[in-house]
Amino acid sequence: MAPALFICLEFAVKDLFLLDSMLTPKIITVVYWFGLIGVLIGAVNQLFDPAESLLSALGLLLFGLLGVRIWCELMIVLFKINANLQTLAEREETKP
């Protein structure tokens, strides 16, 4: 069990210091969940605020969740475009 963990850690440290692979796509999932939790907390906070209405809390919930999802999907699309461009560049390098 330990050698597999060591190989996994070696791979992660190598990627971290050499900048050969992108770390951010792995972080986007965590950012997405924190964004969802933030929107939910904001909507509940707005729901119990006497100056706000139920409609504004539901609007924040609906558009906030949708906005977080769209933003994270756009970030993932950008990183997939980067990965595809790297693949194309590697193919061009191997052509005789």
Residue at 81 is within a domain: yes
Residue at 86 is within a domain: yes
Residue at 6 is within a domain: no
How far out from the chain centre does Cα 52 lie? Answer: 31
User: In angstroms, rounded to a whole number, what is the distance separating the alpha carbons of residues 94 and 96?
Assistant: 6
Residue at 48 is within a domain: yes
Give residues with Cβ within 8 angstroms of 69, minimum separation 6: 32
The predicted model scores a pTM of 0.68
CB-based contacts of 71-76 (< 8 A; 24+ apart in sequence): 71/35, 72/28, 72/29, 72/31, 72/32, 72/35, 75/24, 75/25, 75/28, 76/25, 76/28
The DSSP 8-state label assigned to residue 50 in this structure reads T
Domain that residue 62 falls in = 21-94
pLDDT the model gives residue 15: 63
Residue at 65 is within a domain: yes
- Residues 36-88: tens digit of each pLDDT: 999 999 999 998 988 888 898 899 999 999 999 999 999 999 989 988 998 89
Number of domains in the chain: 1
Residue at 28 is within a domain: yes
